[in-house]
A and B are shown apart, each in its own frame.
Chain A
Amino acid sequence: MDTIYSILGAILPLEAYQYSFMKNAFLAILLLTPLLGLLGTMAVNHQMAFFSDALGHSALTGIGLGIILGLRNDLVAMLVFGIIWAILICVIKQSGSASTDTVISVFSSTSVAAGLLILARGGKFAKYSSLLIGDVLAVTPSDLLWLLLALIGTLILWALLYNSLLLTSVDSFLARSRGIKTRLVECAFVVMVAVAVMLSIRWVGVMLINALLILPAAAGRNLARSSRQHAVWSVVLALFSGLLGLTLSYYLDTSAGASIVLVSALCYAASLAVRGIRK
Chain B
Amino acid sequence: MPLHHCELCHIDLDRITVRRGGQTLLQDVSMHIHCGQLTVLIGQNGAGKTTLIRALLGELPHTGLIRHVDGRGLDIPHLRTGYVPQHLQFDREMPLTVRDFMAASLSKRPVWTGVGKKTRALVDKALAAVNAGELADRPLGRCSGGELQRVLLALAMNPAPDLLVLDEPVSGIDRNGLKMFLDTLLDLKQTHHMAILLVSHDLRFVREYADHVILLDKSVLAQGSAESVFSSPEFSAVFGYSGEEEEAE
> Quick check: is B95 within 8 A (CB to CB) of the other chain?
yes
| Stretch in A91-99, A163-171, A254-262 with 4+ CB within 8 Å of B | A163-171
The smallest C-beta distance from B206 to any residue of chain A, in angstroms, reads 24
**Binary per-residue interface labels of chain A (21-57) against chain B in the complex, 1 for a CB within 8 Å, 0 otherwise:** 0000000000000000010010001010000000000
| Stretch in B32-40, B85-93, B175-183, B228-236 with 4+ CB within 8 Å of A | B85-93
Residue from B85, B114, B139 in contact with A174 in the complex, judged by beta carbons closer than 8 Å: B85
Chain B residues with CB below 8 A from A230, complex form: 95, 112
Chain A residues with CB below 8 A from B59, complex form: 173, 176-177
B96 nearest in chain A by CB position: A227
B107 nearest in chain A by CB position: A163
A-B pair count, CB < 8 Å, reads: 88
Instruction: List residues of chain B with CB under 8 Å of any chain A CB.
Output: 57, 59, 81, 83, 85, 88-91, 93-97, 99-101, 103-105, 107-114, 139-140, 152, 155
Residue from B105, B110, B152 in contact with A158 in the complex, judged by beta carbons closer than 8 Å: B110
Instruction: List residues of chain A with CB under 8 Å of any chain B CB.
Output: 38, 41, 45, 47, 158-159, 162-164, 166-167, 169-171, 173-174, 176-178, 220-221, 224-231
Residue from B97, B108, B155 in contact with A225 in the complex, judged by beta carbons closer than 8 Å: B97
A178 to B104, CA, bound (A): 11
Residues A163 and B108 in contact, CB atoms below 8 Å apart: yes
Given contacts A170-B96, A221-B93, list 12 more A-B pairs with CB under 8 A.
A45-B94, A162-B104, A164-B104, A166-B100, A171-B88, A174-B152, A224-B95, A226-B96, A226-B97, A226-B99, A228-B111, A230-B95
Residue from A38, A47, A163, A176 in contact with B104 in the complex, judged by beta carbons closer than 8 Å: A163
Chain A residues with CB below 8 A from B155, complex form: 178
Residue from A174, A176, A177, A224 in contact with B88 in the complex, judged by beta carbons closer than 8 Å: A174
A45 nearest in chain B by CB position: B94
Residues B105 and A171 in contact, CB atoms below 8 Å apart: no
Residues B83 and A166 in contact, CB atoms below 8 Å apart: no
B100 nearest in chain A by CB position: A227
Given A174-B83, A177-B57, A226-B100: A166 in contact with B111 (beta carbons within 8 A):
yes
- Most chain A CB neighbours (cut-off 10 Å) among B81, B83, B100, B112: B112
The smallest C-beta distance from B95 to any residue of chain A, in angstroms, reads 4
Residues A177 and B105 in contact, CB atoms below 8 Å apart: no
A155 nearest in chain B by CB position: B110
Closest 7 interchain pairs by CB? Answer: A162-B110, A231-B112, A224-B95, A177-B83, A163-B104, A230-B95, A227-B100
Residues A170 and B83 in contact, CB atoms below 8 Å apart: no
The smallest C-beta distance from B239 to any residue of chain A, in angstroms, reads 28
Chain A residues with CB below 8 A from B110, complex form: 158-159, 162-163
The smallest C-beta distance from B91 to any residue of chain A, in angstroms, reads 7
Residues A228 and B112 in contact, CB atoms below 8 Å apart: yes
Given A163-B110, A163-B111: A47 in contact with B91 (beta carbons within 8 A):
yes
B81 nearest in chain A by CB position: A177
A45 to B59, CA, bound (A): 24
The smallest C-beta distance from A232 to any residue of chain B, in angstroms, reads 8
A169 to B112, CA, bound (A): 15
Residues B81 and A41 in contact, CB atoms below 8 Å apart: no
A92 to B22, CA, bound (A): 23
Chain B residues with CB below 8 A from A178, complex form: 83, 105, 155
The smallest C-beta distance from A35 to any residue of chain B, in angstroms, reads 14
B87 nearest in chain A by CB position: A171
The smallest C-beta distance from A112 to any residue of chain B, in angstroms, reads 29
A170 to B103, CA, bound (A): 14
Residues B81 and A221 in contact, CB atoms below 8 Å apart: no
